[in-house]
Each structure stands twice: as structure tokens, then as C-alpha cells.
Structure 1
Amino acid sequence: MPKPFTYCCLLPLLLGRGPALAAPAPADTVATVPRLTVGLASATRTTYLQRAPEPAEDKGYFGTTLTYQAPKGFISSLYLNHSYNYQKLSEPFINYGELMVGWQAVGNTDTYWTVQYTRLFVYGESALVQSSLRNDFSASITQFFSFATASFSADVFVGSTHDVVLTLDLSHRFQLPVLGHDTLSIEPTVELGAGSQHFYTASLATTSWVKTKKRGGTTLVTNEPAAPAFSTLGYTLSVPVTLTAGRFSVAATPSYLLPLHVPAGGYSTSFFYFTLGVSRTFW
């Protein structure tokens, strides 16, 4: 399941793979996996599983990611999110986070895979669509062809709501030399998502006080829209433009999200948004 904040932290790894590396290189020429990466990302809208809050509740976000990758395949990361909708000092400055551990393929091959467990946590009141999610068990596989890159991922969410989401990405990367070993890449990408939406209907739930028959008392009732059956979630079209210079990478990504099969009361309007990310690899 691609996420904007993990894209910037895994960028140095993925840029080292691709159609040009379809044939495995000799063992003594294979580059070591970057071991520590710090990524920063800012976006004009907050999206998750091709769902987004209402524009009035979403001004975008600033995210920070710290990723550790061991040469043998172990990977872990910590992500912290600050919403630009932050208005009061009493609100948590960090309103959302993720802690991930997993295992990934290493070496120069034309197939890349990962298996991961992610713990999601939300601070205080949150308008984020993923606020009911707590645990994510996921696996993904990416195949680098000579003409395109295809990636498929599956996520199983367990928490106060339970969901299964499948994601397919297709992209083609154009790489241009800039100065020395620096490169500029442009990678048009289309993403198709499908799955259940209990997490989203939970974020749309409203509460109201209803009178009871006992002595004119009241009780709090939660009203949640019906969750659609397993169906397509939408399409995302994006064009990441990435400059890689040594251990630094800067990525600017315009995106267009077209949501499908949105539950009643959800935000169903397609929209453009923009993400800017920068990462620095150490060691």
C-alpha cells in the first residue's frame, strides 16, 4: 500500500533498482542497502487508501520519517504526522504516527518484495480517515520490466474496524543525467485500489442524544453509514519528478485522485494535490 511518507524514505533504495538492473550484478558489485534514511514530506491534502477528509478539515500535513534498513533485509521505520489544520495549543502537535517493522528483498534483481507489520496510533480528536485503524499486516511485490514497473500490495487491517485492501501500481520511469552522477527521473504512475471501507465509514460516524422511555432520560447514539461491499476504491494518477544528488533526493509529485464507491456522507469529489519530499541517506 503506497503511502506518500514512505515513498520519500524508500526512494534511495528504489532508485537503485529498475529496468537497467534487470540482470543480477556480480556479488562484489552489488551496492549495499542504505542503512539509515531521514525523510521529510509536505502535502496540500491528506489521503489514505484513496480516501480524504472534507477540505474544511484538511489543510495538508508535514511528515517526518526515520527508516533503518539492515544489509540482510530487516527494515523498520517511524513516521510522525503534523496536520496543517492545527489551530489550538491544546491540540496534539503530532496527531498521527506509524511504527513499522518488516523484511525486504536485497540485492540487484528485477523483483523486489516486502512483508511488514505497522502499528498505527492517533493522538486526540482526529478528522483523519484512518483514525480507527490500529494494526496493518501487509505484503507487496514489485516487478521491474524493461518497459514498466508493476507493484501489487495487500493490506489486512485489524483494530476497532477490520479491512482488507489491495493496491496495484503501474509506472514507467524516464531517467535523465544532470551533473556527474546526479540524476533526474520522471515517473508517470497510475494506482488502482480495491477493498472494504469500514475504516472510512467509522470516520463518518455521527453522534446524537436520543430520549429514552425511562423518566425522560437521554442516551448517546452513534450513527454510521453502511459500508459498501468489497469494491474499487478509486484511481490515483501521479507524476513524481525526482532529483537524486549523492545521498540526497528531492521529489515533487503532482497527483489527481478519483475516488469511487464512496459511502453516503463521504467526500466523493476528485481533486488535485501536491506532495514535496526530501530525504537524506546516512552510513
Structure 2
Amino acid sequence: MKTLWICIWLFLLMPALAFAGQTAEPAAETDTVKTGWWVVGMEASNNSSFFGRNTAKRYPYAAPNLTYIHHTGIWASASAYQLFGTEDFIDQADLSVGYSFKVRKRLEVDLSYTHFIFGKNTPLVNASTTDALSARTAYDWKYLYTALTNSYIIGSGNDVFTVLENSRYVPLNPLWQGNLPVGLDPKISVTAGTQHFSETHTTTTTQKKKGSGGGSTGSGPIGGILDPLNPGGSKGPSDGGTTEETTTTTTTTNVSRFRVLNYDLKIPVVVYYGNFEFEPSWRYSIPVNKLEGDESKAQSFYTLSVKYTF
């Protein structure tokens, strides 16, 4: 396991080595056409969540990230999540590959595959997952940017999630005529997905049985109605008449339903400074249709993301 983490950290250090090599090259060679970009990032948040679900206890985290993007649209990414207050050095690692391309000028598609690796004692709600296949489609309506992401999650129970997002970047620097690009990128999203649970049904049935005694039919010519020993043909408890037997059956079945799981409102501030991108954000998450035992609750998430592209 230690060898795996060493490989991941070496992968994270590759951009620094590449950047050092580029600075040593002659100026004439740096004018060649760029074929790819490296993005080194770090994200920190006051709590973690997975498709709107979270644990009752807050787990702040820090997550370094490294991404390589080729000019053809093929990309690869590695992330490591360190939760504060846990036993594992790395609580989660994500290894992803994907392909982004444009269908039309305003229509973009991104296909990706992610493999999850979790620490032995991680408390994350998604620790039972192993892989994810995702397809994201985004369209720019000029006044609104809409993205639809469909994900198939592989793990102990295979699930399907759909996230619909609507956002619009609003530049703020024209307000003070500044040269530093600053803007807001408010986003509203709805998450839906499958839920696995058990349903219990109770069925009660009543059956009538005829007795074997002779008093049920009587000895008279019309069924004992005129029998002086049994006026009116009434059946006593010992006459062997009809009896009722009640049976109760309880059945438990596993059920899977596709329902809305979460509503999100996110307001990030995006600041560009040269090759750096800073994004402090606030997000309010409202989980709905919770199953028994789900400790998720509506709460605020505060996140800071820093990226450097070269």
C-alpha cells in the first residue's frame, strides 16, 4: 500500500520537475506550439459530501490535485483527500481519465472514468464504491449555462446519479474598471439517484373450513330446521359447523427507486491572477427523501480552491 502512495506522490511531483526542465531550455525552443497543459491544484473545505449525502460528524479535508490536458481533449487526473481527525494518512484517492470535445460551438461533452481508492478506516459515505463512469453534457445559452451529468457508480450496490446544473459567470471587474479578472459564478443544481431499501408487506387471509360432525346438516327433511332438538337449525360449538382460520404472512423485498436526493445553491468568487485561479465559495446543500439511518442534514459548505496552469 505504501508503494501505491509513493507512486501517487511522484505523479503529483511530475509537473514541478517538468516546469524546472522548461525553465532551463533556451528561449528559442519555448516558442514551439504547446500540445498540453498541466494544472496543479489544492482544495480545502469544512466538510465532505457525496452526491449531497454526508455524515453526522463534520470531516474537513485538504485535497491536492494534478491534471494533464492534451490539446486533443484527452485528460488524466489524480487527487488525494486527507480528512482531518482520522487515522489514515490518505482517506481517499481518485484516479481519472477522460475525453472532452465540442459537438457544436456551444455544446460540449466530457466522458470520464474514475477509480476510487479508500483508506482502511475512512469514514466517508462513499467508501463502498470502487469505480465511476460519467458523461457530462453542457450547453451555453448565452444567458444561462446548463450542464447535465449522468454517472454510473460501481460498488457494493450499483447506482445511477444525475446532476442538473444551471449557472452563469458574471464578471465584476468592470464595476471598478480593474484589470484583474474577478467574477461570480452562481450555480443551482438538483441531484437525483437510485436508492436501495427494504419494503415489508403484511397480508392477512381468512379461510373457512367445514366440520366433520353430523349436527351440521340436521336430521329433518330440510336440513334439521324442524328438528325439535335443534330449533332453527342453529349450530352449536360441538356441532361440527363452519370454522374460520386466520393466517398472517409478512414478506420483505429489496426495492430500488430513482428519486430526487439533493438541492444545491453554490456561490463562488473566481479570481484570476496570471496563471493562478483562486475560488473561495459558499454552498448550501439540502438533502431530501432520506432513508432510515441517513444522517445527512441541510448545511453550509465553505471551500477554497487554488489552481496553477502551465
Shorter-chain TM range is: 0.7 to 0.9
1:280 aligns with 2:305: no
Percent identical pairs in the alignment equals: 24
Deviation of 1:161 after TM superposition, in Å, equals 1.9
Give the aligned partner of residue 190 of structure 1: 188
Give the aligned partner of residue 119 of structure 1: 115
Give the aligned partner of residue 128 of structure 1: 124
Query: In structure 1, what is the Cα distance between the partners aligned to 2:75 and 2:283?
Result: 27
Which is higher, the Rg of structure 1 or of structure 2? 2
What TM-score do the two structures reach when normalised by structure 2? 0.67
1:161 aligns with 2:189: no
Give the aligned partner of residue 40 of structure 1: 42
Give yes or no for contact 2:88–2:122 (8 Å, CA) kept in 1. no
C-alpha distance after superposition, 1:64-101 (max 9, x if no partner)? 11000000110110010000122xxxx22111011001
Query: In structure 1, what is the Cα distance between the partners aligned to 2:35 and 2:161?
Result: 29
Query: In structure 1, what is the Cα distance between the partners aligned to 2:144 and 2:35?
Result: 23
Decide whether aligned partners of structure 1 residues 147 and 33 sit closer, same or farther in structure 2, where only a CA change above 3 A counts.
Answer: farther
Give the aligned partner of residue 205 of structure 1: none
C-alpha distance after superposition, 1:232-281 (max 9, x if no partner)? 01101010111011210000110100001111111242111100010000
Give yes or no for contact 1:247–1:280 (8 Å, CA) kept in 2. yes
Give the aligned partner of residue 211 of structure 2: none
Query: In structure 1, what is the Cα distance between the partners aligned to 2:195 and 2:35?
Result: 36
Unpaired segments of 5 or more residues in structure 2?
A: 1-32, 198-253
Total equivalences in the alignment:
220
Supply the RMSD in Å over aligned alpha carbons: 2.2
Q: Choose between structure 1 and 2 for higher RCO, CA contacts under 8 A separated by at least 6 residues.
A: 1
Give yes or no for contact 1:181–1:246 (8 Å, CA) kept in 2. no
1:139 aligns with 2:146: no
Query: In structure 2, what is the Cα distance between the partners aligned to 1:107 and 1:69?
Result: 18
SS state of the match for residue 129, structure 2? Answer: coil
Query: In structure 1, what is the Cα distance between the partners aligned to 2:277 and 2:56?
Result: 31
Deviation of 1:182 after TM superposition, in Å, equals 2.9
Residue identity matched to 1:76 = A
Decide whether aligned partners of structure 1 residues 108 and 186 sit closer, same or farther in structure 2, where only a CA change above 3 A counts.
Answer: farther
Residue identity matched to 2:185 = E
Query: In structure 1, what is the Cα distance between the partners aligned to 2:115 and 2:56?
Result: 25
Give the aligned partner of residue 51 of structure 1: 53
What TM-score do the two structures reach when normalised by structure 1? 0.73
Query: In structure 2, what is the Cα distance between the partners aligned to 1:120 and 1:107?
Result: 29
Give yes or no for contact 1:228–1:263 (8 Å, CA) kept in 2. no
Deviation of 1:63 after TM superposition, in Å, equals 0.6
Give yes or no for contact 1:181–1:245 (8 Å, CA) kept in 2. no
Match of 1:239 among 267, 273, 278: 267
Greater strand share, structure number? 2
Give yes or no for contact 2:103–2:109 (8 Å, CA) kept in 1. no
Unpaired segments of 5 or more residues in structure 1?
A: 1-30, 202-225
Give the aligned partner of residue 79 of structure 1: 79
Deviation of 1:181 after TM superposition, in Å, equals 5.1
